[in-house]
Structure 1
Amino acid sequence: MLSVLIVIPILGAILVGFFPGNIPAEKLRKVTLAIAVSIIIWTVQIAVKFDLNNPSWQFQETFAWIPQLGLNYNLGVDGLSLPLLALNSLLTFIAVYGYGNNIERPRLYYPLILLVNAGVAGAFISANLLLFVLFYELELIPIYLLIAIWGSEKRGYAATKFLIYTAVSGILILAGFLGITWLSNSPSFDYNLISTESLPLITKLILLTILLVGFGIKIPLVPLHTWLPDAYVESSPPVTILLGGILAKLGTYGLLRFCLGLFPQTWEIVAPGMAIIGTISVLYGALAAIAQQDIKRMVAYSSIGHMGYILVAAAANTPLSLVGAIAQMVAHGLILAILFHLVGVVETKVGTRELSVLNGLMSPVRGLPFTSALLIMGGMASAGIPGMVGFAAEFLVFQGSFSTFPIPTLLCIIASGLTAVYFVILLNRTCFGRLDNNTAYYPKVIWSERAPALVLAVAILFLGIQPTWLVRWTEETSNFLVLKSQIEIQSISQYLK
């Protein structure tokens, strides 16, 4: 079942890109939407058949690919990867639907979107370390082209910066995986066959640090974040949704799957440092967002802060904090997607993203009242207002992390209040006030421009009111990761005694 999630978008990309004849852009878009819908339907089928009581890999597919290198085609899904697969499928549909029919070079644009989907899905279901790296790198070139071709004025600089940072991230992750496998004398790169218990402590610390830096670039964490503002701001709204909504989750997913999963004992040593770095990222992201005048850049910096919550939760390594970390990945993806989509709508209709120029968009006659209302809802969700998915995820993170790291958790709670500050600034200056009678004659927002935000808003509200629909998929896997850590730590302690 899992291979279909890779095959469908790849075959779809080939079909859309190389089908003979001169096909109108609207028809290419409809075909790509049909492919995106089929991916969603298949993901739902997997979720329906998923055993909630089984914490390990399910629907595994394994066969030897290049056995001399230890590279096997080994796929599996568990409670850590399934919610992210669903998020990937949904945001791919939003990215395709949200651009409309005016896209230039649709023969290239839509296949690149589908290839990104295939690469991300493949990474989330890879149960072989080398296979993960292959899929991790697969999305690099498509995203680079999506930024460089369809981005804004400084797109070349932003795309090149993204390419360099992500390439370094991939090299570090590959080096870490090679070191783990070779030094532990594992027979292959299959995840379940690798054990780091026999390695010296200093070796494990070095390998873990390499992986932390590699995945930290992708998240990104301060001070490895400098590629993010440029890439997010210069990308078109659909590409920004993919970048922030799902690609950044490859970093946090790798943090839990490979750093915590393969180094449970060593993780306890680095966890305090990780909690401090996560807290710094949260505070820096909030303070930097407050200082911005470009609303898209403000949302971009807010992303750095909200990803820091995940690191604090992972560092705490309690059952509740890990459930919160996974929930925060999904919540962050949904909230960031609706904010970037609405910012794109505002820029298209008004022609600017500057806070000093925007005002009065809530005006029911000449403004953008519906867009403004959804923007207010997105800001409330990001600020952690109860009844929305952001509150549920952050509450789980804070509740699960407080017992282990009380001071970093309290600082993160303070930063959550700062989130409300910069969104109040954004919404007050953008949505309220009086419109300029000479310039405020904006085009109407049509239904197709509203639909993606409505879908995301429904998901944000539904999962906020019924958070069990989100956390139920992850509880057993989170408990298993924590239990594995505790068992291995106890065995090491008994050995030392």
Structure 2
Amino acid sequence: MMLSALILLPLIGAALIGFYPASMSGKLSRGIALTVAILTFLWTIFLVIQFNPTDIGQQFAESLPWIDVIGFNYSLGIDGLSLPLLVLNGLLTAIAIYSSDPSLQRPRFYYSLILLLNAGVSGAFLAQDLLLFFLFYEIELIPLYLLIAIWGGAKRGYAATKFLIYTAFSGILLLASFLGMVWLSGADNFGLQSLQLTALPLTTQLILLAGITIGFGIKMPLVPLHTWLPDAHVEASTPISVLLAGVLLKLGTYGLLRFGMNLLPEAWAYVAPWLATWAVISVLYGASCAIAQTDMKKMVAYSSVGHMGYVLLAAAASTPLSVLGAVMQMISHGLISAMLFLLVGVVYQKAGSRDLDVLHGLLNPERGLPVIGTLMVVGVMASAGIPGMVGFISEFIVFRGSFPIFPLQTLISMLGTGLTAVYFLILVNKAFFGRLSAQVLNLPRVYWSDRAPALILAITIVIFGVQPNWLIHWTEATITAMVKTQNLVVATSSELKIENAPSSDFNL
């Protein structure tokens, strides 16, 4: 039950806060939620300590029959692909609860939903059964919808409904693809290990991969499936934006690697050039849209669209180094985007605006937000890929691993790094430098409790940037084995097709 604990702990915490006792205060419910989140995060650290990085199989595996008639099992496991994402989920959930407004309305319902969201995401990363993954994938949908719809901004209803429709359509595509994968392959259950041993015709794989790619492409999101994301971020509260950008988007990238590249290797290799081109479009479009924004939060939201394109490029290249870079990019983006959203949230809370046409001079050491401005500069440098930060090493590995396979797409994608520096330089220059604007002369005091979450993330970003092997160490063996298996399947299939092809020789 070592892995089930990651699901049960937040579920028990959510039930405790939500149903008992009726007189529980907001302060107490926040304290219980934060305690549960910290315990869950510490449990992921314990799993990291117990994890064997040289073992490429699923560790701490749990499997129980659930619905035998359809081959549905409660099957959990953890490997180098899912381990860092679980730790990231635990860390950002604790930070989101800590950063929540202590005086918010309906606190018991709010904290229960965040813990339920944490359980759903952890279950999705742990699931080794396609139906079980889909179950957890859908479980996280309702809490996030309610968190935006109830505690969001002025247009929260529109943003939440748009998110719900897009994500529901994503789920429909994924369920249809998963069912087709099992039924057409003749497998007797939905387990990942069973499906890895089956082979499907290339045409069938392409149809199934189309559903999986579009389904997870909505979640990532990729252009033109991204339009729900800026609205959701702008209307969501700061802690929910932290979870949305830092964790929820990674369900899409994780799903592409786990279920697209891993289970449909021939189709993946066939469409890889098109996926790489799609990645380039997302990178450039996301960066271009970010440059045009005047809302700080919307600018950071569009930056996520571009940075998720790097993950798709690396996955399309399918080399051990590029896929390792994809995992690094997922972690680095989760840390950096969470930090940027936290800082934008503090600016909005203290200055009352996120408009770059209104905010100026916030780096003023006496009357501005000097520490927040300094942390913002650190976050911007990390996102722009400045050496010494985790953003640099993750993008470098992506480009280095992808260039031998897709040189043109990689070179064009590198422009996205330059454009990232452009739009974040605009943000920092307008909001933090120059004369302090008259509209924000009397700023409330910023306490260390406001700065602490972003400071923790900044330290983590620098640590992994200086010593990336502390992160790579846990993932490298799993990724290398996954890519080698995929390449072997593709090569074997090609050889069989050549051997079975009709001979063109003829006798005179």
What interval of TM-score do these two structures reach, taking the shorter chain for normalisation?
Answer: over 0.9
Contact 1:186 1:195 in 2 (8 A): no
- For structure 2, the residue ranges without an aligned partner over 5 or more in a row are 499-508
- Tell me the TM-score normalized by structure 1: 0.99
Call closer, same or farther: CA 1:283–1:26 in 2, change over 3 Å. Answer: same
1:21 Cα offset (Å): 3.7
How is 1:100-111 mapped onto 2 (pairs within 5 angstroms)?
A: 100-111=101-112
Residue in structure 2 matched with residue 17 of structure 1 by the alignment: 18
1:489 Cα offset (Å): 1.4
Residue in structure 2 matched with residue 398 of structure 1 by the alignment: 399
Question: Secondary structure of 1:443's match?
Answer: coil
Residue in structure 1 matched with residue 264 of structure 2 by the alignment: 263
| Number of corresponding residues | 497
Residue in structure 2 matched with residue 153 of structure 1 by the alignment: 154
Matched, 1:29 2:30: yes
Output the CA distance in 2 between the equivalents of 1:438 and 1:77: 51
**Aligned residue identity for 1:221:** L
**Aligned residue identity for 1:332:** H
Question: Secondary structure of 1:262's match?
Answer: coil
Residue in structure 2 matched with residue 412 of structure 1 by the alignment: 413
1:481 Cα offset (Å): 1.2
Residue in structure 1 matched with residue 229 of structure 2 by the alignment: 228
1:26 Cα offset (Å): 1.4
CA distances 1:246-269 after superposition (whole Å, capped 9, x unpaired): 000000000000000001121110
Residue in structure 1 matched with residue 220 of structure 2 by the alignment: 219
Output the CA distance in 1 between the equivalents of 2:382 and 2:167: 29
Output the CA distance in 1 between the equivalents of 2:101 and 2:472: 34
Residue in structure 1 matched with residue 502 of structure 2 by the alignment: none
What stretches of structure 1 move > 3 A for 4+ residues in a row?
195-198, 436-439
Residue in structure 2 matched with residue 347 of structure 1 by the alignment: 348
Matched, 1:91 2:92: yes
Question: Secondary structure of 1:133's match?
Answer: helix
Residue in structure 2 matched with residue 296 of structure 1 by the alignment: 297
**Aligned residue identity for 1:147:** I
Contact 1:275 1:311 in 2 (8 A): yes
**Aligned residue identity for 1:377:** V
1:111 Cα offset (Å): 0.3
Question: Secondary structure of 1:374's match?
Answer: helix
130-139 or 443-452, which deviates more: 443-452
Question: Secondary structure of 2:262's match?
Answer: helix
**Aligned residue identity for 1:316:** A
**Aligned residue identity for 2:480:** N
Residue in structure 2 matched with residue 189 of structure 1 by the alignment: 190
**Aligned residue identity for 1:394:** E
1:100 Cα offset (Å): 3.4
Output the CA distance in 2 between the equivalents of 1:27 and 1:240: 24
Output the CA distance in 1 between the equivalents of 2:437 and 2:128: 57
Call closer, same or farther: CA 1:445–1:62 in 2, change over 3 Å. Answer: same
CA distances 1:61-91 after superposition (whole Å, capped 9, x unpaired): 0010111111100000000000000000000
**Aligned residue identity for 2:262:** G
Matched, 1:442 2:443: yes
Contact 1:238 1:341 in 2 (8 A): yes
1:24 Cα offset (Å): 2.1
Residue in structure 2 matched with residue 379 of structure 1 by the alignment: 380
Residue in structure 1 matched with residue 7 of structure 2 by the alignment: 6
Call closer, same or farther: CA 1:438–1:79 in 2, change over 3 Å. Answer: closer
Call closer, same or farther: CA 1:359–1:438 in 2, change over 3 Å. Answer: closer
CA distances 1:103-155 after superposition (whole Å, capped 9, x unpaired): 21101000000000000000000000000000000000000000000000100
Residue in structure 1 matched with residue 481 of structure 2 by the alignment: 480
Contact 2:213 2:256 in 1 (8 A): yes
Output the CA distance in 2 between the equivalents of 1:195 and 1:28: 44
1:176 Cα offset (Å): 0.3
Output the CA distance in 2 between the equivalents of 1:196 and 1:202: 18
Question: Secondary structure of 1:73's match?
Answer: strand
Matched, 1:79 2:80: yes
Output the CA distance in 2 between the equivalents of 1:312 and 1:9: 34
Call closer, same or farther: CA 1:197–1:3 in 2, change over 3 Å. Answer: closer
Output the CA distance in 2 between the equivalents of 1:211 and 1:98: 35
Residue in structure 2 matched with residue 460 of structure 1 by the alignment: 461
Contact 2:57 2:79 in 1 (8 A): yes
Contact 1:196 1:204 in 2 (8 A): no
1:485 Cα offset (Å): 1.1
Residue in structure 1 matched with residue 286 of structure 2 by the alignment: 285
**Aligned residue identity for 1:137:** E
Percent of residue pairs identical: 57
How is 1:119-198 mapped onto 2 (pairs within 5 angstroms)?
A: 119-195=120-196, 197-198=198-199
Output the CA distance in 2 between the equivalents of 1:166 and 1:196: 30
1:190 Cα offset (Å): 0.5
- For structure 1, the residue ranges without an aligned partner over 5 or more in a row are none
- Tell me the TM-score normalized by structure 2: 0.97
Contact 1:184 1:195 in 2 (8 A): no
CA distances 1:191-240 after superposition (whole Å, capped 9, x unpaired): 00114753221111101111100000000000110111101111001001
Contact 1:321 1:399 in 2 (8 A): yes
Residue in structure 2 matched with residue 200 of structure 1 by the alignment: 201
1:36 Cα offset (Å): 0.6
**Aligned residue identity for 1:176:** S
1:102 Cα offset (Å): 1.5
Question: Secondary structure of 1:61's match?
Answer: strand
1:437 Cα offset (Å): 4.8
Contact 2:187 2:198 in 1 (8 A): no
What is the RMSD computed on CA atoms of the aligned residues? 0.9
Question: Secondary structure of 1:101's match?
Answer: coil
**Aligned residue identity for 2:160:** A
1:436 Cα offset (Å): 3.2
1:282 Cα offset (Å): 0.3
Output the CA distance in 2 between the equivalents of 1:52 and 1:425: 42
Matched, 1:50 2:34: no
Contact 1:386 1:392 in 2 (8 A): yes
